[in-house]
Structure 1
Amino acid sequence: MSDTRYALQMKCLVSHITAFEYWRLVGLPGIVRPLPTNSQAIPSSMESYEIERLASMGLLSLPLHVATSRKKKNESQTCFCHYRPEPYPRGSIYRIDAETGIVSPELALLQVSGELSFGELVGVMCEFSGYYSPSCREFHGMIGREPLTSAFRIATYAERAKGLHDACRTRSAAKYALDRARSPMEVAAALLLSLPYARGGYALSGMELNNRIKLSVSARKNSRVAFLEPDILWPSARVCIEYDSTEFHGDEYRIANDARRKNALALSGYDVVTLTKEQMASAFEMDKIAHCAARHLGARLRAERIRGQKGLRHELLARGSALKDERALSDRAGQRFEDYSKSVFWRQRK
């Protein structure tokens, strides 16, 4: 579809917090994954039936936020219009269908960055670049899906979008984002360990998440697999951290499988550090894990490492953190949610 035809057909451009919420829903059955376009133009009109259709899903908070190139009075309780006469940078607009557009994952992150703390912002960047989204509606509290973007694409977009509000902050946060994350706790552990001292972390940089490594011959014979993806890995130092969740406590198969993974990694010449949910919950225990990892890496933690830890831990691990609670940012922004049980989407799913 050409730029001109798409620009003429687009009746509604979802943006800001509504776009952020929609991208987090991608992966749920029935939720269309938007496709990129070359369009940069923002529609001047906003069709009410498109807004009503999105609102009827019962998944997005109200009011719905849309972008228009013509000033409009915000009199509706269902919709809030953001005025922008200039086109967005190239790569900013995706399409849900022929008449409904949505800003890109990178622009959605930039538009909500002012509502997030620095740690939360880096965390949701890891989420968008990973294989999950938090969801209270799904088993295990997560939606599984393919990555929406990557840390490199977020940083590149923020560099091109210098004229947009919060582009500089987004660009700074993108430097610490990591690809291939698979859970909020994994992201929290990685950021606690990797963010610089000034941001409350332990400055153990150079890590990768779930990066595939080839096992040695003896490890392959022992584990019967050729490759593994450690949760957190420093490839140059051959050091990895495996996160043991208590979610499957008592599952003998899971326990045995975790043991085989660690043995295979050790046989392949990797130093393995085990991290549990209980250790993550304790600043003292997490400090010991960081010391252990630093020792394996040949790094030395400075005395000021504790400075800012309390604030960062709260940003990443607290109940109201945007990393763990899908509604946290919406509640913070004063959005409201309707009763899901009455929505068209959930009636169709049943």
Structure 2
Amino acid sequence: MRLVLYGESGAAYWLCADLTCAKPRKDSSAVLEDDAPGKASCSYLLRQFPGLAQPVHCLSTRKTRGGGSFWKTHFTSYAYPPNSFWHIGSGLYVPSPELCFVQACTTTTDHRALKIGAALCGTFSVRPQSPTGLARREPLTTPGRIQKYIDRASCLHGTKKAARLARHIPQNAASPPEAFLCLVLALPGRWGGYHLPPPLMNKRLKSGRKSRAITQRKSLVPDLYWPQAKVALEFDSDAIHLSSAQATRDSTKRLALENSGHRTVTVTTNQLASRDRMSHIAQRIGQELGHISRNRSRDFSCQQNALFAEGWSLNWLFDPTWLANESAHEQRA
């Protein structure tokens, strides 16, 4: 018997699990043969991957009843493209990152789907036992690869919504707050954003002579960057930048960016959490970019309230007890 994860549960796996054993399967139809989500298979899954939130979302070709708060079944009769599923353990499979995003678009809000997309396209994984709660890794996918998958699976439920959202997924975010910051600034008004031109995230820039003298580095990496106007935005978060050494490096980087002719804006955690403060920051960046605000949609205010209420946390994807225990283990260490 097999258990195949779905959507949000699949995304949680990709963000918190050790991926060394994950292998793609070319024959997607074979993966769904003899699939049987149930109490025994879900219990086994959670012993292997205790970080997944419940109910566990599972894909099945059988119209079976769900398991209440333990698991939820999503029926499919679709023939999936090759490499849509990855083998992650004995009888356990997860959708590819691209398919995870499409599936998430069928079960959650636009804002949460975009956050999942940004996490899958970001350079971080979730590690509650680390000081920052994160670890660095290469992106699992890109918005371009997601769009290519959508084109290959255009008849699949969720692809129309996924196609609308995929073009707005932040790429290369180094943390959930960075991804949220990009969404707030660049999303169109119908999703509650300020519709600024999308920035490059964590783009490596060659250092000039002056900046090399300041940082002793050959390159600079601003958090968000608009190259046409040479505008850089730096996110300053106590939750991410814990040490005084890191704070010094960040201050030095901002000074080096300014000495290289870049106009630099800094956003703090408190500012990012405030709709009013972010409105002023978006206006300032828009002026720096020479960007004229477009007419906003009628539901802009409602959508922006929802966007800020959602915030940047990804905790809903994970088991709260696991998050607390892993974090406590780090503190004891």
Question: Is the pair's TM-score, using the shorter chain for normalization, greater than 0.5?
Answer: yes
Which of 8, 14, 25 matches 2:5? 14
Counterpart residue identity of residue 286, structure 1: M
Tell me which residue corresponds to 1:26: 17
Cα pair 1:180 1:209 within 8 Å, conserved: yes
Aligned-partner Cα distance in 1 for 2:253–2:141:
29
Q: How many equivalent pairs are there?
A: 323
Matched, 1:301 2:293: yes
Which amino acid is the alignment partner of residue 122 of structure 1? L
Shift of 1:175: 0.5
Q: How far does the alpha carbon of each residue in 1:40-76 deviate from its partner, in whole angstroms, 9 at most, with x for none?
A: 2143214776544212233223444433445555579
**TM-aligned CA distance change 1:100 to 1:205, over 3 Å:** same
Q: CA deviation at 1:265?
A: 0.9
Identity among equivalent pairs (%): 25
Letter of the 1:37 counterpart: R
Q: Matched residue of 2:132: which SS?
A: helix
Q: Displacement, 1:33?
A: 5.2
Aligned equivalent of 2:81: 89
Aligned in 2, Cα 1:82/1:291: closer, same or farther, shift over 3 Å?
closer
SS in 2 for 1:259: helix
Is 1:271 matched with 2:263? yes
The residue correspondences of 1:124-273 to structure 2 (distance < 5 A) are: 124-134=116-126, 136=128, 138-247=130-239, 251-273=243-265
Contact 2:182/2:198 (<8 A) preserved: no
SS in 1 for 2:291: coil
Question: In the alignment, which residue of structure 2 is the partner of 1:3?
Answer: none
Q: Which runs of 5+ in 1 are unaligned?
A: 1-9, 331-336
User: What is the TM-score with the length of structure 1 in the denominator?
Assistant: 0.80
Counterparts of 1:12 and 1:303 in 2: how far apart (Å)?
48
Give the TM-score, by structure 2 length: 0.83
CA distance in 2, matches of 1:40, 1:255: 48
| C-alpha RMSD over aligned residues | 3.2
Deviation at residue 312 of structure 1 after TM alignment: 3.0
1:6 maps to which residue? none
| More divergent stretch after superposition (244-253 vs 103-112) | 244-253
- Do the aligned partners of residues 285 and 258 (structure 1) sit closer, same or farther apart at CA in structure 2, a change above 3 Å counting? same
Query: In the alignment, which residue of structure 2 is the partner of 1:324?
Result: 313
Q: CA deviation at 1:92?
A: 0.8
| Mapped partners of 1:75, 1:212: distance in 2 | 48
Range moving further from structure 2, 287-296 or 84-93:
84-93
Listed as ranges, the gaps of 5+ residues in structure 2 are none
Amino acid at match of 1:12: L
How many angstroms apart in 2 are the aligned matches of 1:339 and 1:238? 44
1:190 counterpart SS class: helix
Q: Is the 8 A contact 2:15 2:119 kept in 1?
A: no
**Cα distance change of structure 1 residues 79 and 176 upon mapping to structure 2, 3 Å threshold:** closer
